[in-house]
Amino acid sequence: MILESQLDELKEEIIACGKCPRLVEWREEVARVKRKAYKDEDYWGKPVPGFGDPQARVLVVGLAPGAHGSNRTGRNFTGDASGGFLYPALYRAGFANQPTAESRSDGLILKDLYITSSGRCAPPANKPSPEELDNCQPYLEREIQILKPKVIVCLGKIAFDRMVKIFSVRNLGWKFSHGALFNLPISSFIPYPSSLLCSYHPSQQNTLTGKLTVKMFDDIWEKAKELINDD
Ligand code: SF4
């Protein structure tokens, strides 16, 4: 319950955030203009907070909300093609109660897993600037401090680079690649051994080109399960 209320408090703070003027303008503009296919929907148009199981041992870190995906629905990877690849995989691995994610009220429940992102506001061209990611980093740090996950799965290099920064491990020369696994140092964030597991991001750019296959992605979640059950 304590974790839940800490996460709820953080969510409220995130939703009210306006630290990045360029992103505030963009997320609200997209929500106003809308895509034709969603013209009758009320877009969220605000920062998208993390969500999932407050007792999660696995923390998933993505990039940032998609303009017409989570900037529309208000929940990570919900209502877009990346989520259409992610949630079936989480369902197969037992981390989600259903393989679909369409809206905040679709009944999706995550088990032992929490999903968040490096940046919380939809950026133009899906590219937050380094300064914008720096502005958003304290939220990610607090999520890590509250959840103290045993495994962090970073989806893509931008999320990986954030982890390298947060855990101050640049000097270790870690390189991002799909399936790469690192032992995170014990720190004020997580006071016991934990792991960083890398995956390609499930964007269409990767899934439609075969750079990230269903099998490759399933292997990531199997590995995450193995790591949380390893003692
Ligand atoms: S990206 Fe993060 S820091 Fe910037 S306005 Fe959105 S929530 Fe705030």
Do 71 and 27 meet the contact criterion of CB atoms below 8 Å apart? yes
Quote the ligand 1 centre to 15 CA distance (angstroms): 9
Q: How far lies 74's CA from each of 42, 56, 77, 136, in Å?
A: 10, 20, 9, 17
Environment class of 158 (CB within 10 Å of its CB; exposed 0-12, middle 13-18, buried 19+) = buried
pLDDT at 53: 98
- Kindly state the average pLDDT of the residues 139-159: 98
**CB contact set of 9 (below 8 Å; sequence gap of 6+):** none
- Kindly state the average pLDDT of the residues 82-89: 98
pLDDT at 72 over 80: yes
pLDDT tens profile 89-98: 999 999 999 9
Residue 19 Cβ inside 6 Å of ligand 1? The answer reads: yes
What confidence tier does 110 reach under pLDDT thresholds 50, 70, 90?
A: very high
Residue 53 Cβ inside 6 Å of ligand 1? The answer reads: no
pLDDT at 128 over 70: yes
pLDDT at 230: 80
pLDDT at 6 over 70: yes
pLDDT at 231: 62
pLDDT at 23 over 80: yes
- Kindly state the average pLDDT of the residues 70-83: 97
The CB-side HSE value for 181 (13 A sphere, CA atoms) comes to 12
pLDDT at 131: 98
Protein residue whose Cα sits closest to atom 2 of ligand 1: 136
CA 4 – CA 200 distance, rounded (Å): 29
Quote the ligand 1 centre to 103 CA distance (angstroms): 22
pLDDT at 2: 85
CA 78 – CA 81 distance, rounded (Å): 9
pLDDT tens profile 172-221: 999 999 999 999 999 999 999 999 999 999 999 999 999 999 999 999 99
Residue 20 Cβ inside 6 Å of ligand 1? The answer reads: yes
Q: Percent of the chain at pLDDT above 70?
A: 99
Residue 14 Cβ inside 6 Å of ligand 1? The answer reads: yes
Residue 101 Cβ inside 6 Å of ligand 1? The answer reads: no
CA 89 – CA 155 distance, rounded (Å): 13
Which tokens sit at 191? Answer: 């006071």
pLDDT at 136 over 70: yes
Which tokens sit at 42? Answer: 């009320």
Spell out where 137-224 has E strands.
Answer: 151-155, 181-184, 194-199
Quote the ligand 1 centre to 48 CA distance (angstroms): 9
Protein residue whose Cα sits closest to atom 3 of ligand 1: 136
Go through 31-66 and write b for each residue having 16 or more CB atoms within 10 A of its CB, e for each that does not: beebeeeeeeeebbbbbbbbbbbbebbbbbbbbbbb
CA 153 – CA 110 distance, rounded (Å): 15
Residue 31 Cβ inside 6 Å of ligand 1? The answer reads: no
Protein residue whose Cα sits closest to atom 4 of ligand 1: 20
CA 5 – CA 93 distance, rounded (Å): 27
Protein residue whose Cα sits closest to atom 6 of ligand 1: 121
